Amino acid sequence: MLEIQRLTKYYRNTPVVNDVSFTVRPGEVTGYLGPNGSGKSTTVKIIAGLIEATTGKVLLDGRDIREDPMGFRRRLGYVPEEAILYSYLTGLEYLQLIGRLRSLPPQEVDRKANELLDLFSLESYRHAPISTYSKGMKQRVLISAALLHNPDVLILDEPLSGIDVTSAQLFKHLLAELASKGKTILYISHVLEVVERVCAQVIIIYKGRIMAADSVERLRGLMNVPSLEGIFAQLVEERDLESLARNIVRTIQTG
């Protein structure tokens, strides 16, 4: 179980993440939602160990991850928000690099990397440099790299960004399958429809603070709205989006 306890991160005296606490249970997909700049990616970067929190802690199975950061990283699979990869490596070389860095034996890395590239429909591009890949292809390489070492904890920051419809469908099934194998999954997304379908629990963050944390059904009941989109709009939208859209059109039409 992954527990985030009173996590706070300040940038130049401004709290980007402010006293955030939640729990991600094994065997479940937990959705982490919020508008741009709400602090989602900062939270997951802290969990992944890429930046340090100002205060607060992250526990895995009751143990602070700072006590054994390497042990935590061994159990972690991470897909970052942006698909930044070594563009001069080929897809296969990248997976071989990550697999070996994770101390997997070379034969196992080669076998798994080739199989994952096949399964993610990248087999004919395995020897092509990543610089020639589309955004969706890069995203599939990232997902493969995150899964290569069979991690217990998965943090997926916008994994469907740039991915085509078929791959997105595959990914939804993959999430459900991984959860059924007992993986602890934190899933960050803007695509509310996917979150609604695959997440047992959703956490909504706005301006660095948690606005809601519960199952979609309970939130629907509590807030008396039919969809996650409605819940999201009620919690984080301060503006009337319809009138805003009308204003935009009026602006571009004004001679």
Partner 1 sequence: MDVNFFGMLFWPSIDAGPHLINLFVSHVTAVLAAGLFAALSIAALQGVLITILPAKAYRRVSVTIQTALMGVLVMLLFLSPLMGFSIERLIKNHNPSLYWFPGFWFVGLYERLRPATHNPLLAGLGISAIRALGCAAGVCAATYLPFYRRHARKMLEAPEPSPSGPGPLRKRIAGILDCLLLPHPIESAVFRFIGQTITRSVKHRLFLATYGGFGAAVAVMSLGSESGLLRLPLTLSFVLVSGLRAAFNFPSELRANWAFQVSETSHARPYLLATRKWIVVCSILPLFALLAPMEFACFPWTAALFHLAFGIALSVLLMEILFLGFRKVPFTCSHFPGKVNLVALGVVYVLGFTVYSSTMAGFESWMTGTPSATALFFAAAASVSLLLNRWQAREPDGAATLDYEDRGDPVVRTLDLTPQ
- Does 231 engage in binding with partner 1 (CB under 8 A)? no
Binding mask 56-85 toward partner 1 (x if CB under 8 A, else -) reads -------------xx--xx-x-x-x-x-xx
If we measure between CA atoms, which residue out of 131, 107, 127 comes closest to residue 117?
127
**Interface characters, 185-224, with partner 1 (x: CB under 8 A):** ----------------------------------------
**Strand 2-11 vs strand 14-24: parallel, antiparallel, or unpaired?**
antiparallel
Residue 101: exposed, middle, or buried by beta-carbon count in 10 A (0-12, 13-18, 19+)? exposed
Tokens of 109: 């890395």
Site residues for partner 1, 76-135, by CB under 8 A, read 76, 78, 80, 82, 84-90, 92-93, 96-106, 109, 124, 126-129, 132
- Residue 136 touching partner 1 (CB under 8 A): no
Residues 23-62 that bind partner 1 (CB under 8 A): 48-50
Give the nearest distance from C-beta 138 to partner 1 in angstroms: 11
Rounded distance between C-alpha atoms, residue 21 and residue 209, angstroms:
9
Q: Does 150 bind partner 1 (CB under 8 A)?
A: no
Measured CA to CA, the distance from residue 34 to residue 32 in angstroms comes to 7
CA separation for the pair 141, 117 (Å, rounded): 8
Helix (H, G, I), strand (E, B) or coil at 237: coil
**Interacting residue ranges for partner 1, rule: CB under 8 A:** 48-50, 69-70, 73-74, 76, 78, 80, 82, 84-90, 92-93, 96-106, 109, 124, 126-129, 132, 145
